[in-house]
Structure 1
Amino acid sequence: MGEVGTQIYDLATGCSTNGYDNRTSESVSLVANTSYNGYVSSQYYATEQISIWIDFNDNCVFESSEQVAFQSLNATYLTSFVMVIPAIGSVAKTGIHRMRASVAFYYVPDACSTSFSYGETHDYTVNILNYTPSIPTPPCTAVSVGSNGTLYAASSGITITTYTCKAYSWTSPRTGTITLTFQLHNTPSYWYIDDVSIYNKGVQMLLNGGFESGSASPGWTLSTPYGVCSTPGVINTVSPRTGLYSLQDGSTSCTADQISQSFAVIAGQTYVVSFYIKTGTTGSGISISVTLS
């Protein structure tokens, strides 16, 4: 069981061809600097061990420093193990990575070795989240919207010519995936968005909220749901609030373009959404909507 309702439940999978199974379609979210309990079983009574690695640096090599679990199995019974995710730093990195679990008979498993005659290796996907020891205080007072998916909407006569904080406390009506969407239109100037954040308790739900990767990836998707737009949104260095980058969006000749990111939610839990916005000018051709759906 991971964070925000995610888990890998992969029991009784049988034997895979050549002892390897690519199961990266299954994913789990884990928080850095945190330990997790897991369970594993085998069909055999013989002495076996399991090792787990996460390719934190995404170089397609599972290095010894990236090993997060090791345990001897208790015959065919479910055996508990502890997986320790290190703090963000020289080894652990936030974001999406490949996780490898390998079980070997008699030998200590090696992530890429074929020296043992019996065993099996599965690859999964893991999303490493930032660890926050306490629930962070929103950068401005959060407005409670209940389960209403419309957080903010405005058009015509908007006067936000300096970065302004918006924050909302939202309760999820369901368990599953939710998408945060900014839809933007600006004639004759630009919208700027920076420092987007969603916290569930102490867990940051978004990737690249400050756009400091220099692009929408990882995390965000830029799109034009209403057809082709002139000067659509881009990540650049024109006017960041903090850091080096922000979203600049001057979409015209369409209803709006959008930037969005999806994340996992649990029914009844509260999520605090915050972001900073500004526009270069005022006018009747300016609109914005921010939704969770």
Structure 2
Amino acid sequence: MATGVLQRVSGGLGRAKNRAHSVGQLVLWARWGSRQCGCSVFLSRCSFTLAAVRFYRQVSAAATMIQGDWFKSLFVRKVDPRKDAHSNLLTKNEESNLYKVQFHNVKPECLDAYNKLCEDVLPSIHADKYYPCELVGTWNTWYGEQDQAVHLWRYRGGYPALTEVMNKLRQNKEFTAYRKERGKMLLSRRNQLLLEFSFWNEPVPRKGPNVYELRSYQLRPGTMIEWGNYWARAIGYRQQNREAVGGFFSQIGSLYMVHHLWAYKDLQSREDTRNAVWQQEGWHEVVYYTVPLIQHMESRIMIPTKASPLQ
């Protein structure tokens, strides 16, 4: 259809230009004729001819402008102004919880010693009201990236609480010794600061035994709001077996990263639960519309350590 419109517009432009050229020749001939015979009728016809030339030139210019605007409309998307950052639109406004997830890649021969060290130190920080933070969970990766520890912390009070904890821990000799000893056991480490989606559950301690799945999605930049809109509806499909633990999106670290944390009795329970959701009306639409938003995704199956409030 677009090709046909362009062909008709281009054809009209060509005819207008040809006519204008022919009429221009006629004007020159008319001027010569008026000098030869001085005929008033001839001159009136010449005036009409000049008006026709101006008309064709105006039509040609307008058609060219319309053609250019039409082309632009095909490739330039109108951007609606947004009044707020997506972090404010997707979080629980009445709360100011900030989360930190840590990924520690441990030397294989040091994993047991690393777990023992964490069990001795991390629960004491969690239980001490002097530090405005909570240990949400701590795990070892079972399937996925091997010899990896994952820790999830919550800071009630947002960035000020995070800063307060960091400043106080620098003065904690036990924690300083822990970090020094821990450094000998690690191959690498990284972390992210996260906010929680308003429509997800807040992670709370639960009894075990459970296996946990951390599904991480790297979204295309600019699609976080769209992801949130779909999952605000989708989370309702995933509550029947209490498998939904928490949903987060990154603020610092790898950006446009989403983490969904799930709990299952075992791997077979995970399989059964995930298969059952496909029988619910509307779930396939959520998958259909959210998959194109993803650049990369990863799944970790994790086992909680003894120190984890999420068992």
Given the two structures, how large is their TM-score scaled by the length of structure 1? 0.24
Q: Greater strand share, 1 or 2? A: 1
Q: Write 1 or 2 for the structure with the bigger share of helix.
A: 2
TM value normalised by structure 2? 0.23
Please identify the structure whose Cα radius of gyration is greater.
Answer: 2
